C-alpha cells in the first residue's frame, strides 16, 4: 500500500505549490515515513544477503543521484531560457552553491548559518530539494550496521540496526524538544519522522509476538499525543516547530499499521493502478515540478478559456506536471531503477515497494 500513499503524497506536494493550500508539510512527512520503511527494509535485506557497505552505498547513489543531477541540468536549462527571454539571471550565484547542489551538501550551509526552516537555506537552487539533504544522511546512518558488519565482522547487524533506530529516534525527540525552532541541516532534526517508518517496518514485517508489536503501537500513539500537545501549546506558527511534523508522522505510521490488513484488497482495486502509477514517478515529480510552476501556469492559461473554473485550472496544472514528470522519469530515472522494471499499473506496486529501497 506504500505505492498508493507515495502517489497521494506526491500529488499533495504539487497541489500545495500550485494552489498554495498548505498541505505540503504533512505530505513530506509521509514521504519521510515511507523512506524510513523502505530503506530499513533494504538495509535489512542487504544484511541478510551479506551485501557489503560499499555495494549498499553504490545502490543508493545509483538510485538517487543520476535523476537528481539530471533535474539540476533541467533547472539550469530553464533558467537560461528565462535569462534570454526576460533578462532575469537566477544563476548569478556563488560557485560554492553549484558545488553544494551537485553534491547534495547544501545542508552544510545551515550548520554554520542555521535558519528557521530548512527551505530557507540560501544555497538551495530548488527549495523542494531540501528534504534530500536529510535523506542522504539517513541512508548513511542506516548503512552503519552494514559498515560494521563489513569491516568489523560483527554478526549481529540486524540487532544493531534495530537498536540504532531506537537510539536515534530518542535522540531526535530530545534534540527537537530543546531546538525545534532552528534548522542546522543535521539528520537528528528529522530522524524521528524517518524512525516512525523504521518502526512501522519492524512492526509489520520483522517482530514476532504481540507484546513487541503492541509496544511499537503504544510508542507511536504516545508520540502522536505528546507531539499534538506540544504543537497545540506552542505560541509559534506551526511551520516553525518540528513537533507538528512528528505528530503527522506518528499519525501516518499508526494509519499504515491499521490499514495493513487491507493490503490484498488494495492491490486488486483500481486505486492501486492509478496511485501506483503516480507513485512510480513520484521522485521525478518531486524533482522537477517546482521550478516549472510558472511555465505550466502560463501553458494552461494559454490553452484554457478565461472563464475556466478555478478547480479545473488547478487540476489541469497538476495533470501537466504529472505528464512532464512521467517523461522525465522515463528518460532519466527509469534506467537507474535497481530492479529495472518500468511497467505502469499493477507492476508499479512491485516496483515501488523495491525500487525506492
Helix 24-48 vs helix 2-19: angle between axes, to the nearest 10 degrees?
Answer: 150
Distance CA 256, CA 2 (A): 8
Cell numbers placing 254: 499508526
Q: Assess whether pLDDT exceeds 50 at residue 353.
A: no
> 115: which strand partners?
183
Q: Assess whether pLDDT exceeds 70 at residue 59.
A: yes
pLDDT recorded at residue 191:
93
Q: Assess whether pLDDT exceeds 90 at residue 291.
A: yes
Q: Specify the 3-state DSSP secondary structure of 115.
A: strand
The rounded percent of the chain whose pLDDT value lies above 90 is 61
Which has the closest alpha carbon to 4: 175, 259, 192, 214? 259
pLDDT recorded at residue 338:
62
Contacts of 160 (CB under 8 A, 6+ apart): 145, 148, 149, 154
pLDDT recorded at residue 39:
92
Q: Specify the 3-state DSSP secondary structure of 183.
A: strand
Q: Specify the 3-state DSSP secondary structure of 77.
A: helix
Distance CA 82, CA 60 (A): 33
Per residue in 101-143, pLDDT (tens digit) is 999 999 999 999 999 889 999 999 999 999 999 999 999 898 8
Per residue in 314-333, pLDDT (tens digit) is 999 999 999 999 999 999 99
Cell numbers placing 46: 542487504
pLDDT recorded at residue 319:
96
- Eight-state DSSP code of residue 189: G
Which has the closest alpha carbon to 193: 233, 120, 247, 229? 247
Length of the chain: 357
Q: Assess whether pLDDT exceeds 60 at residue 258.
A: yes
pLDDT recorded at residue 339:
52
Q: Assess whether pLDDT exceeds 50 at residue 342.
A: no
pLDDT recorded at residue 230:
78
Amino acid at each position: 500500500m506504500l505505492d498508493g500513499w507515495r502517489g497521494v503524497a506526491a500529488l499533495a506536494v504539487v497541489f500545495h505549490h500550485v494552489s498554495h493550500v498548505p498541505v505540503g508539510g504533512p505530505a513530506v512527512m509521509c514521504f519521510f515515513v515511507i523512506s524510513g520503511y523502505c530503506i530499513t527494509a533494504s538495509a535489512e535485506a542487504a544484511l541478510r544477503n551479506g551485501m557489503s557497505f560499499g555495494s549498499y552505498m553504490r545502490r543508493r547513489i545509483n538510485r538517487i543521484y543520476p535523476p537528481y543531477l539530471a533535474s539540476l541540468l533541467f533547472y539550469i536549462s530553464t533558467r537560461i531560457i528565462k535569462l534570454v527571454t526576460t533578462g532575469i539571471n537566477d544563476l548569478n550565484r556563488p560557485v560554492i552553491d553549484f558545488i553544494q547542489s551537485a553534491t547534495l551538501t547544501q545542508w552544510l550551509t545551515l550548520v554554520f548559518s542555521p535558519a528557521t526552516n530548512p527551505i530557507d537555506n540560501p544555497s538551495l537552487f530548488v527549495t523542494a530539494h531540501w528534504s534530500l539533504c536529510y535523506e542522504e544522511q539517513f541512508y548513511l546512518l542506516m548503512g552503519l550496521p552494514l559498515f560494521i558488519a563489513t569491516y568489523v565482522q560483527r554478526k549481529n547487524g540486524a540487532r544493531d540496526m534495530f537498536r540504532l533506530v531506537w537510539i536515534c529516534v530518542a535522540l531526535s525527540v530530545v534534540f527537537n524538544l530543546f531546538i525545534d525552532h532552528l534548522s542546522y541541516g543535521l539528520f537528528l532534526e528529522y530522524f524521528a519522522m524517518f524512525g516512525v517508518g523504521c518502526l512501522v517496518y519492524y512492526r509489520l514485517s520483522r517482530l514476532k509476538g504481540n507484546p513487541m508489536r503492541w509496544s511499537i503501537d503504544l510508542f507511536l500513539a504516545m508520540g502522536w499525543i505528546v507531539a499534538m500537545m506540544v504543537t497545540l501549546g506552542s505560541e509559534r506558527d506551526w511551520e516553525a516547530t518540528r513537533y507538528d511534523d512528528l505528530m503527522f508522522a506518528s499519525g501516518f505510521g499508526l494509519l499504515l499499521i491499521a490499514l495493513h490488513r487491507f493490503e490484498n484488497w488494495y492491490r486488486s482495486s483500481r486505486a492501486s493502478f492509478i496511485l501506483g502509477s503516480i507513485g512510480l514517478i513520484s521522485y521525478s515529480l518531486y524533482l522537477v515540478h517546482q521550478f516549472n510552476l510558472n511555465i505550466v501556469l502560463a501553458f494552461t492559461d494559454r490553452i484554457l478559456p478565461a472563464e475556466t473554473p478555478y478547480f479545473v485550472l488547478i487540476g489541469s496544472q497538476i495533470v501537466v506536471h504529472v505528464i512532464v514528470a512521467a517523461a522525465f522519469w522515463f528518460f532519466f530515472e527509469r534506467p537507474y531503477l535497481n530492479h529495472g522494471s518500468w511497467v505502469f499499473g499493477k507492476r508499479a506496486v512491485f516496483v515501488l515497494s523495491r525500487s525506492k529501497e
